Structure 1
Amino acid sequence: MTKNWNYRSACNTIAFDNGHGDDAMATDALDELDFGTLSTLDVLGTKIELFTAGDGPPLLFLHGIDGIEGSAPLLRELAGAFTVHAPSHPGFGTSDQPRNLNRVDDLGYFYLDLMDVLGLDRPVIVGSSFGGWVAAEIATKAPERVATLILASPFGLRTADRREQHVADIFMLSRQELNIRLNRQEPALSSLPEDRLRRTMRNDEALSRYGWTPYMHNPKLADRLHRVTCPTLIAWGEEDAIIGPAYRQAYAAALPKADVAVIEAAGHRLHADRPEALSAHIAAFAGR
C-alpha cells in the first residue's frame, strides 16, 4: 500500500506574492496558481486546502485526477467571470484525509458541509474527470443546492460490462502510458522537488483510495441521477483516450435532460487541453 504522507497544511491564508520562510515552500508547489489566494478551510474539523480567485457569481470547482494544480489553465479562465472556489479534495494536495471519508459517496455529503461553511447558496458547480463524479454525487443528494451543473469528462458510472471495458484502467497503466493517454507532459518523479513529489504521491494515493474498487464508479449513481433537476451540461473531449463512446452514451441516457458538448482537439483533460473553449461553454451555459 502506498505510504501515507504526513505533512503540515498551509497556514490560514497565503497570498501568492509571499516569498519568505515556510509560506514560500507551500506556494512553490503551486506556482502555476499565482493569480489567486491559497488558504486553509476548516470543515467540521477537517482542514482543506482552498484556492480562490476572481470576482463574480460563485463557482465551486472540483478538480480531477491531477489536483487543483493541473486545473490551473481552466481556473485562470473561469476567474475572469466567476468567484472561483477550488478545494483540494480530502487526501489530495495538503488537505486532511479523515478515516471516515473513503468513498466518493462520502465526498458528496462532505462538500455540502463545505458549501455551508463557505456560505455558498446554489453556486455553479463544475467538476472535471474525478471531480465530475464528485459533482454528480452532490447534485443527487441535494439538487436544490446547485444552480447549474457542468460535468467535464466525468467518471462515476459503471466502467465495464461483462464483455467490454468502456473506461481505461488508469491504475493498471504505466505512468508513461497514462501520461500519453492524458496528453500530459510530466517530468520524471525523480527530478521533482520534495514538496511537488509529496503532492503527486498524495494525489495518486487519494485517487486509489476513492476509486480502486469498485473501479472509478458508484454502482448506485446511475439510479440516482434522475434526482438532478438543475440545468446540466456534460462536456467531452473529442479525443478522450480514457473514456469510450459507450460510457458517454450511458451518461447521456442517465441524464436525459442534460445538454452535451463535444470539444474538438481535446482529450480527457479538457481543463488543460482546451481551457478557453471549456470556460466559454461554462460561462454561456451558466448565463442562460
Structure 2
Amino acid sequence: MALWQAIQSPEQVEALILISPMSINPQHRPAITSAESAHRALFAHLENANKRVPLSQSIYDQESELSRRLGVGIHDGAVEARLKDIHCPTLAIFGQEDHFVTPEAPRVYREKIPNCNIALVYDAGHCIVGDRPEALVNTIVDYAEQWETFIIGHQSGVINP
C-alpha cells in the first residue's frame, strides 16, 4: 500500500519506509502447507515463532486465498517499472534471513528507487518485528529523525591520494 501511495500520489509522501517488501523479486516461498508451517517460515529462529500465536488454520486458508487473488508474493512488473518515479527519501528494511524474498531484492530496490537506502537486519527473517523488534524500531526511529543521512553521508568517504 505505501509503495503504491508513493508512486500514485508522490506529493502526499514526505518519506517512505518499506519493511520486508515483496513486490520485487519475491523468492519462491518455502513449502508451506499449513498455518503452522507458514508461521514458522516467517522467523529466523523457531524460539521467536514460539513466542507468537499463529493464525488458526481456517483464517490462514482465507488469508491464503485472498493473497493468491491479490497476487501477493508475485513479482509485480508494474510496480518495478514505476519505482523510478519515487523521489522521496526511502528506506527499505529487510531481514537477512528472509526466505520470502531473494537476496538480490535489496539491490534492486536500491538501484530502481532514486533516493533509496537499504537496511539489513541481521539474524531476522521476514517478520523482523518478531525476530529483532528493538533493531527494527531503532532503525525506523533513526531514519525518521535523520532521514537518509543516518545510513550514508552525502560526502564521499574515499580518501584522496
TM-score interval, normalised by the smaller of the two chains: 0.7 to 0.9
Does 2:12 align with 1:145? yes
Q: Which of 149, 174, 195 is 2:33 aligned to?
A: 174
Q: Which of 223, 229, 232 is 2:81 aligned to?
A: 223
**Structure 2 residue aligned with 1:248:** 106
3-state SS of 2:134 partner: helix
- Which structure's residues are more often helix, by fraction? 2
Aligned letter for 2:17? I
Q: In structure 2, do the counterparts of structure 1 residues 187 and 230 end up closer, same or farther at CA, with 3 Å as the change threshold? A: closer
3-state SS of 1:245 partner: coil
Q: In structure 2, do the counterparts of structure 1 residues 285 and 179 end up closer, same or farther at CA, with 3 Å as the change threshold? A: same
Q: Is the 8 A contact 1:210 1:216 kept in 2?
A: no
C-alpha distance after superposition, 1:255-274 (max 9, x if no partner):
24211111111111112222
Distance in 1 between residues matched to 2:13 and 2:54, nearest whole Å: 40
Q: Is the 8 A contact 1:153 1:236 kept in 2?
A: yes
Q: Which of 175, 190, 209 is 2:69 aligned to?
A: 209
C-alpha distance after superposition, 1:95-140 (max 9, x if no partner):
xxxxxxxxxxxxxxxxxxxxxxxxxxxxxxxxxxxxxxx2211110
C-alpha distance after superposition, 1:141-173 (max 9, x if no partner):
0111112211111011244xxxxxxx0236x63
Q: Which of 85, 93, 103 is 1:235 aligned to?
A: 93
Structure 1 unaligned blocks of 5 or more: 1-133, 160-166
Query: Could you say which structure has the greater relative contact order, defined with CA pairs below 8 angstroms and 6 or more residues apart?
Result: 2
Structure 1 residue 188 displacement after superposition: 8.0
* TM-score, structure 2 normalization: 0.73
**Structure 2 residue aligned with 1:96:** none
**Pairs aligned (count):** 139
Aligned letter for 1:152? I
3-state SS of 2:91 partner: strand
Aligned letter for 1:217? H
Does 2:109 align with 1:265? no
Structure 1 residue 235 displacement after superposition: 0.7
**Structure 2 residue aligned with 1:12:** none
Task: Note the 1:127-206 alignment, pairs <5 A.
Answer: 134-159=1-26, 167-169=27-29, 173-175=32-34, 176-183=36-43, 184-185=49-50, 192=56, 199-206=59-66
Distance in 1 between residues matched to 2:83 and 2:4, nearest whole Å: 8
- Which structure's residues are more often strand, by fraction? 1
Does 2:112 align with 1:287? no
Structure 1 residue 201 displacement after superposition: 3.7
Structure 2 unaligned blocks of 5 or more: 44-48, 147-161
3-state SS of 2:143 partner: helix
